[in-house]
Structure 1
Amino acid sequence: MSNRAVLEVIALDAEDAVAAQSGGADRLELVTDMAADGLTPTRETYARVRAAVDIPLRVMLRLADGFAAGDVSGVDALVRAARELRAEGAEEFVLGFLDENGNPDLVAVERVVAELNGCRWTFHRAIDRAADRDALRKQLADLPGLDTYLTAGAAEGVDAGLPTLLTEAARRGEPGYEPQILVGGGLRLDHVPALRSAGVDAFHIGGAARPGGWSAPVAAPAVREWREALDG
């Protein structure tokens, strides 16, 4: 493991992206509408952000609040969104859908992933709402491109999920546990030492990069504080 941890920052626009990169972010998660916990941005937003920075950029594929993909027309719309973003040049994505019982919605996930054509992607915090995290990982293990799980370890956030995160970090490399654990969701700087010592090497921040709140842009100094903590 290289000892430099990945720092991923949520960006809503090119201004955020530039500030995040200048603060030391390694990667961006591009979304719109944080009131709904982050939805798919427009092609135009993607193109502006891609032109503004040169670090990797993962684009959210999610069209409604919650973790359901919706009915057939909802899945069709997700596939279209993926196709349009691919046509615009997007190469990395974020997605994750559950059925009403908290199991992975394999039909929706597989249809969207097929459209990504081997691109790398993150299964996001839907895992924190899953009925059985271990079963979900094993059901998704053979999907092409899945290289990351964004998780807080619990729906309530990292404070509640820390024991689960440490347990899962110890299983890295087992079947279903090969993808990188990207910790995010109520993550604070004081969580970092325990996670780093457990081998966690990827961290995701949203609100922590915006001292002025979600109505204010990403602040490069806030990102830099995280960069320095991870490199410390």
Structure 2
Amino acid sequence: MLLEVIAITTEDALIASAHGANRIELITGFMEGGLTPSIGLIEQVAQQVSIPVQVMVRPHSRSFVYSKSDVATMVQDIKAIRQYGRNGIGIVVGVLTEAGLIDTYTLEHILDASQDLDVTFHRAFDEIADQEQAYEQLSNYSQIKRVLTSGGKPSVLQATDRIKRLVEMSKTSHVAILAGGGLHTNALAEFIEETGVKEIHLGTAVRGPMGANDLVESDKMHTVRAILDQMIGKKIK
């Protein structure tokens, strides 16, 4: 079972990587759903963390519909991030049209700038009405390795049937389903059993009582890692 953990500081990333995370999502603006972190932070994490790191590329939190100047900013950020690609750095992006569909024109422009970077399509996916069709579209792009989703619900725990269906679709695709949003320790094992998901994304669930304002906590990481390790080899529905 793969565990991805949100980091907003170098300390977050170091704690998570030392205590069971398999991958980091590096962001700033946690309370805004994640924004592009500074190059200084990206460099520090790339130099100090040995596990893969997916860097958020999102210039603002107004929407997932971007202007030409927004896209130009994203492309420049990607070019800067790309220099750390040899250190296991990838990117996290999501672009939509005004109609709430995947903006394939802009996505292809971004993927062209990304070259061979590993790409996650983020929870912009959760604003799309027909997620199965959207998933099939994303499966056409070899650079996109996973979709982060809560199944279109505020909490992924409210979308077990949708996640289960997407996981089933992923069995014939190179695009994995990364389940996140509202997951907590007590529901983790049951959720995995019910959906068959193989990749989990956690943020506040591995932090202290102040949530985004607290560091990742090693004891919570150990608890989650133990649950995930117990699920390995267990029969999943």
Superposition TM-score, scaled by structure 2 size: 0.89
Q: Residue 77 of structure 1 aligns with which residue? A: 73
Structure 1: stretches of 5+ with no match in the other structure: none
The Cα shift of 1:138 comes to 2.1
Give the structure 2 partner of residue 98 of structure 1: 96
Moved more, 126-135 or 86-95: 86-95
Once the two structures are TM-superposed, the CA of residue 60 in structure 1 deviates from its matched residue by: 0.5
Partner of residue 133, structure 1? 131
* Residue number in structure 1 paired with 2:208: 211
Contact 1:61 1:78 in 2 (8 A): yes
Question: Which of residues 10, 16, 19 in structure 2 aligns to 1:14?
Answer: 10
Partner SS state of residue 94, structure 1? strand
Q: Which residue of 1 aligns with 2:20?
A: 24
Give the match's secondary structure for 1:114: helix
Letter in 2 for 1:183: A
User: Which amino acid in 1 is paired with 2:182?
Assistant: G
Q: Is the 8 A contact 1:113 1:144 kept in 2?
A: no
- Alpha-carbon distance, 1:85 to partner: 0.9
Q: Counterpart of 1:87?
A: 83
Percent identity over paired residues: 31
| Residue 36 (structure 1) aligned to one of 14, 32, 36 | 32
SS in structure 2 of the partner of residue 171 of structure 1: helix
Partner SS for 1:55: coil
Q: 1:54 aligns with which of 50, 53, 61?
A: 50
Secondary structure in structure 1 of the residue aligned to 2:181: coil
- The whole-number CA distance in structure 2 between the counterparts of 1:108 and 1:45 is 26
Contact 2:177/2:199 (<8 A) preserved: yes
Q: Deviations over 1:168-200 (max 9, x none)?
A: 2223334xx441111100012343334433431
Q: Is the contact made by 2:20 and 2:221 (CA closer than 8 Å) also made in structure 1?
A: yes
Q: State the alpha-carbon separation in 2 of the partners of residues 169 and 194 from structure 1.
A: 15
RMSD (Å) for aligned C-alpha atoms: 1.6
Runs of 5+ consecutive residues of structure 2 not aligned to the other structure: 231-237
Q: Note the C-alpha offset of 1:76.
A: 0.7
What is the CA–CA distance in structure 2 between the aligned matches of 1:61 and 1:155, rounded to whole Å?
23
* Counterpart amino acid of residue 202 in structure 2: I
- 1:42-63 Cα shifts (integer Å, max 9, x gaps): 1110011112210110001111
In structure 2, distance between residues paired with 1:28 and 1:87: 18
Could you tell me which of 197, 201, 219 is aligned with 2:198? Answer: 201
For CA contacts below 8 A with separation 6 or more, give which structure has more relative contact order.
Answer: 1
